[in-house]
Amino acid sequence: MKTPWEKFSLPGGDRPAYARGESMEFRRTLRETFGPLVDRVEKWPTGPQDWLMAEVPAEGSLTAFFRDLEKRLAAAGSLWVVFPKKPFLEELSFPYSWTDVQKAGLACGLVDNKIAAFSARLTSIRFVIPIALRKSRSAGGR
């Protein structure tokens, strides 16, 4: 079985990894899965980040959610978004489908390239900046 480091492609060395989410299930799973490897934050740190994980909120705009996170990514950074699996959408009062979440990320200029179970009821999708746009993004200071 892959370690969380491998499964979720955590950055190596001293590069930090940050996560943000509100539900008890997200917080518990984050702590159990990653322990000290990922810092749970209430507010995102400033500057471009190599690795972010965010629980998709059940309220608000998916577009605004992704636009905010996209601008926080380093050129080769990873953004993992966590949300309920299809059988648990209603139980967890989550209004968006997997396709809604994916399309919102794509519409913000990101590409999805990996899916991983986060817990028994939550799934995750990794989004990245397209390779073709990374060099210009690095040069642009974002």
| Whether the predicted pLDDT of 142 surpasses 60 | no
pTM of the model: 0.93
| Whether the predicted pLDDT of 6 surpasses 90 | no
pLDDT at 140: 58
* 39-90 per-position pLDDT tens digit: 999 999 999 999 999 999 999 999 999 999 999 999 999 999 999 999 999 9
Q: How many Å separate Cα 126 from the centre of its chain?
A: 6
Residue 20 structure tokens:
């943000």
* 97-111 per-position pLDDT tens digit: 999 999 999 999 999
pLDDT at 115: 95
- Say which residue the tokens 């917080």 belong to: 27
Say how many residues make up the chain. Answer: 142
Q: Over the range 19-45, which residues count as b (16 or more CB within 10 Å of their CB) and which as e?
A: bbbebebbeebbeebbeebbeeeeeee
pLDDT at 87: 97
Structural domains in the chain, sorted by start:
4-139 (3.40.50.150)
Residue 46 structure tokens:
């400033």
